[in-house]
Structure 1
Amino acid sequence: MAQSTRPGQVICGCYRLVSELGSGGFGRVWKARDETLCIDVAVKELWLVPVMSETEQAERLARAAREARNAARLRDHPNIVGVHDVVVENGLPWIVMQLIDGYGPRAGARHRRTCRQRPVLARGDAASGS
């Protein structure tokens, strides 16, 4: 795994990592700045565990490439994030994607609870002031 990856690091000469957005079993997603186009992007760092066999690493790389190709083909779908680029830095694959502004699952759950706790007014209540 690329544990030494850190904010400020530049990937492939143009994607400057800003902050970590999240991580999982296969890698982590960063907010990054595309210094060529001057836009913010999401960059998915895929981890290849050192104890993996060459076959397992090749399968994970192939899966990453397939994921990126499929997402790129479906880039006009409203529920699929757009893929801008796939790059390899120091033997590790990175998928560069459209950055979607929003909030994570915890913040979303808090928002939904807050909305449910608000009183619901009957139709005439708002107009009459009661």
Structure 2
Amino acid sequence: MEDLRRQKIDLTKLPRALTHKWPGTTLDEGFVPLPKKLLRTLTTLFGSSEAMQDLAVLLAVVDYQRPDLKRHPSLEYLAFVAGLDLETTRRTLERLDEREWATTFAPDQRGGIEIDLGGFIRALRNAAERQDQAEE
């Protein structure tokens, strides 16, 4: 069997907007571009399980993040980008909060919702570390 190794890339060469969306060493193995049309149709193509809803909403939140963010996304906008209805998006954010993957703050005066995905980023790093250890 081939001796496969995970590629490591120089994070300083990546666009600032990308490293803001995926902080720390999340991108050090590279990234896969995902068309918004695929994001919007994830639950249509792969089924509307809670896991697929979670992924669609997580990616909608990440898509909205940028270094010079002037306002937070509305629930309606996240639902639109994720291709889900409002109630499903609201329930999904609650589920992500229960898993401690997302911290959702009350809507601001404009109706924007601040969402911190730090818990998800930590879970992602921990899962990758466990997998790396298992591969050794």
TM-score by length of 2: 0.31
Structure holding more strand per residue: 1
TM-score by length of 1: 0.31
Higher relative contact order (Cα pairs below 8 Å, separated by 6+ residues): 2
Structure holding more helix per residue: 2
